[in-house]
Chains A and B, each alone.
Chain A
Amino acid sequence: MTGRELAAELAALWTQHHADTDSRLAAIDAAAAALLAGGLDAARRESARVAAHKLTGALGTYGMAEGSRLAMELEDLLRAAEAPPVLRVAEIATRLREIVASGPPGATSGVTEPRLDVAFATAPGPGTRAVVEAAERAGIACAVLASPDELERHLASAGRARLVVADTAMARWEDLLAGLAMRQPAVPTVVLAARDALPDRALMSRLGARRAIPRDLPPDAVAAALREVLAEIEMGEPRILAVDDDPLMLSALTRVLAANGIQATTAPDATRFWAMLEQVAPDALVLDVEMPGIDGIDLCRALRAHLRWGHLPVLFLTSLADAEVERRAFAAGADDYLRKPISADDLASRIRNRLLRAGRLRDGSRRAGRAAPAAREAATTVDVAMIDDDPTLTALVSHALGTRGLTSRIFGDATSALASLAPAGDLGARVLLLDVDLPDLDGLAVLRRLAESGVTSMTRTIMLTVRASEREILEALELGAVDHVAKPFSVPILMQRIRLALIR
């Protein structure tokens, strides 16, 4: 989905949900009027605070950053113990009205450019024309782009195709495929190749092509193959389940994520949460913190205790900027805590990264295994291995890793760890947390041995120690450590460092 399409969809949604926004603004107006009259009661104040809270997320999601900021300020004013400043509340109420009246940016343009299904990067000719005609008969919207420059311009346009067909008859088709694979987000590709070019299939696969279609197939057969790939692309989109009591927010979230290749199923409350989990089988959850009845944090805690769904990445999306709430969310097992407003691209990137880390974002065929519970404890490769002789600390880190969907193995001494992590050992780790003061062997010596055996080329090591002298840090880094965290440490910061190490 292009930016213009998204803007138009958001504008349409905005119009549909105008009544919700009006009711929230009315609640804020009522509170402001009562405040002016000197009679703001607790119920009206709370109602306005909730309305401001909802507007914070909704306005930000719809691109009205100023409105979101003002709503957040209003929520803070109404939450504070002292009486809210009358004039400021009235100013915010009035400005919010003006912002809402002007609508989301880009809302004036209702014209959307139709999006193509397939772009053929091939020289025009009778053969190409026949394939295009067959594809169009099959309901596939096509365009023929004769050069890489034309393709580049097309991909930068609003109506860019969902799939690119590269013809190996074109010069430098390998570069073309490589470039498309490196785009963010990657552009799905298939290759039209001569039958005698089958040895090139390995190369095509490495370059990210989803399929190689023989060029001499009948046009209808090529069209059928393209339809299959397009269906795979549709199926290949990750799914998330979003629970939020703000319908405006949910609608926007659905469109915003769809524009970034993520299918979002939404629920306005937690009453049907478990049934929807079974029905949707999501790859991740997006939860609001404040909801009627059970709140998002309780829901997250309950989820973590669930045998089947306990591994799901959970992202909180809330307008609450309270550090205590954030701490509670992480303590309950949250993987990420996102504050509204958040841009569509940021949100999609955060969800995608989370899915990647959790190993849930795979190619189109992943659906078959979607419902299978994760059994990563039995795997020979873990996300994090930790060598530390402090059981309290290792329990804390182990819990934090587990609640984030990361597998771990804890070693209390260096000897057993080296035996397991050695190339001939039974364990591979993507990240190693290594203490220096170990009972049997110095941590730096452990690191040296791991480096000598080539383990550090595959395992990123983070030194975790009370020692933080410059010399020791430098020595560790020279031996191949990628980071150093001094004790005592903040668990969220350590988790962030681990996350960074995992994606390097």
Chain B
Amino acid sequence: MIPADILRIVAVGELLLAVALGVTLLIAASWRARSDRRQRADMARGRPIMIATVARDLTASEVAALERLGRRTQVRLLAEIAPSLSGERRARLGAVAVRLGIARSAESACRSRRWWRRLQGARLLTLIGAGDEVMPALLGDGHPLVRAQAAEWASDHPTAATLRLLVALLDDPHRIARFAVQDTLLRVGHPAIGVLAEGLLRMSARGIEAGLAVASRVVDPRLIPIAAALAEHDLGDVRAAAARALGAQGGEVAVQVLTRLIEDEDPRVRAAAAASLGRLEHWPSATRLLPLLSDPSWSVRRESALALRAMGAPGAVILRTALTGEDRFAADIAAQALALRLGPA
């Protein structure tokens, strides 16, 4: 049994601790409120100066006023204004950030051993468009979030070297990094296609799929032979991705390959090939899609019906032919496609 004195001492101690905690919380809240008020005031003072940056050169007194704001407020102002700017105005903002020493400290953060500090630095450099010396190296960073951030930075810095690194990153084991690279390559567009076309044939299936996903969103004839070659790949997923890429390109070769792929053994490939023929609105292939309306795979039937719908009048004729045919699965999917066609938008 615990003696009463000890219990009394513990109770008093707990009471003192509670009082001390309360006082601490009050002081912290007060300090936080005061700090917020000060920062709001700083932001209000700095915002017009920062906005003026994009239109004209700052005077010495304005630069001094910005320097007095403190790093945290400076970064917040940059983060607030930079996303709304591009091109020359964004560069002017970046120049101010360099002048204030923000770029230098961000580059320093990018060399940190801690991944979250590197991520912070990378984000800041992405924001102000600086960091040509340190950012390419981060494309090979050990942490996927940092690589993804570096890939985002690269969209505004599409040098040949950066693009090669980016294309290599399509093979990244982490989805977030691959996604960031795909997004960057799409934003870069045609300048990235040559490097992408070269890199596709040297990647693993995962990288090829990611690259072909990019290819399916960019129209460039340089991709046709690559996609046509990859349509012979052993893996169905790759052949399906190649079919989707060919559907974005068009042309005689693409149609020939797609016409062959609608008879592929893998239903995913057949579905993708049918969808691509529909995307190309290649109505001479309409009759070839008729048997696919009876395919055992629902996705193949669906994609074929939608493709026929996309082919316009010839596709509609084939759908109506299926409508009156003996295969009730084909008739059903044809009816759905025709209903979609005739129904309200």
Tell me the minimal C-beta distance from B188 to chain A in angstroms.
38
Tell me the minimal C-beta distance from B324 to chain A in angstroms.
7
B342 in contact with A36 (CB, 8 Å): no
B189 contact set on A, CB distance < 8 A? none
Tell me the minimal C-beta distance from A102 to chain B in angstroms.
10
Binary contact track A1-42/B, C-beta < 8 Å → 1, others 0: 000000000000000000000000010011011001100000
Binary contact track A135-155/B, C-beta < 8 Å → 1, others 0: 000000000000000000000
User: Which A residue's beta carbon lies closest to that of B338?
Assistant: A97
In the complex, A216→B125 CA distance in Å? 110
A interface, size bucket: 10 to 19
Which of the residues B287, B312, B317, B342 comes within 8 Å of A29, measured between beta carbons?
B317
A36 in contact with B287 (CB, 8 Å): yes
Take A36-B287, A37-B287 as given contacts and tell me if A29 and B320 are in contact as well, using a CB distance cutoff of 8 Å: yes
* CB under 8 Å from chain A, chain B span 279-336: 283-284, 286-287, 312-314, 316-318, 320-321, 324
B321 in contact with A33 (CB, 8 Å): yes
B287 in contact with A90 (CB, 8 Å): no
Which of the residues A29, A87, A98 comes within 8 Å of B321, measured between beta carbons?
A29
* CB under 8 Å from chain B, chain A span 88-107: 90-95, 97-98, 101
Take A36-B286, A37-B287, A87-B283 as given contacts and tell me if A26 and B317 are in contact as well, using a CB distance cutoff of 8 Å: no
A32 in contact with B287 (CB, 8 Å): no
A26 contact set on B, CB distance < 8 A? 324
Take A26-B324, A87-B283, A98-B342 as given contacts and tell me if A33 and B318 are in contact as well, using a CB distance cutoff of 8 Å: yes
A95 contact set on B, CB distance < 8 A? 313
Tell me the minimal C-beta distance from B82 to chain A in angstroms.
52
Residue tally, chain B, CB below 8 Å to A: 14
Tell me the minimal C-beta distance from A93 to chain B in angstroms.
6
In the complex, A32→B314 CA distance in Å? 8
A30 contact set on B, CB distance < 8 A? 321
Tell me the minimal C-beta distance from B290 to chain A in angstroms.
8
A87 contact set on B, CB distance < 8 A? 283, 313-314
B317 in contact with A94 (CB, 8 Å): yes
User: Which B residue's beta carbon lies closest to that of A98?
Assistant: B342
B318 in contact with A91 (CB, 8 Å): no
In the complex, A101→B341 CA distance in Å? 13
In the complex, A97→B317 CA distance in Å? 10
B313 in contact with A94 (CB, 8 Å): yes
In the complex, A33→B320 CA distance in Å? 9
B316 in contact with A94 (CB, 8 Å): yes
Most buried by A among B286, B316, B317, B324: B317
In the complex, A94→B314 CA distance in Å? 8
A86 interfacial contact with B, CB 8 Å: yes
A101 in contact with B342 (CB, 8 Å): yes
In the complex, A347→B286 CA distance in Å? 43
In the complex, A90→B311 CA distance in Å? 11
A32 in contact with B317 (CB, 8 Å): yes
B342 contact set on A, CB distance < 8 A? 98, 101
B324 in contact with A90 (CB, 8 Å): no
Further contacts, 5 of them, CB under 8 A, given A36-B284, A36-B317, A90-B313: A32-B314, A36-B286, A90-B283, A97-B316, A98-B342
Could you name 25 residue pairs across A and B whose Cβ atoms are closer than 8 Å? A26-B324, A29-B317, A29-B321, A30-B321, A32-B314, A33-B287, A33-B317, A36-B283, A36-B284, A37-B287, A86-B314, A87-B313, A90-B283, A90-B312, A90-B316, A91-B313, A93-B313, A93-B317, A94-B312, A94-B316, A95-B313, A97-B316, A97-B320, A98-B342, A101-B342
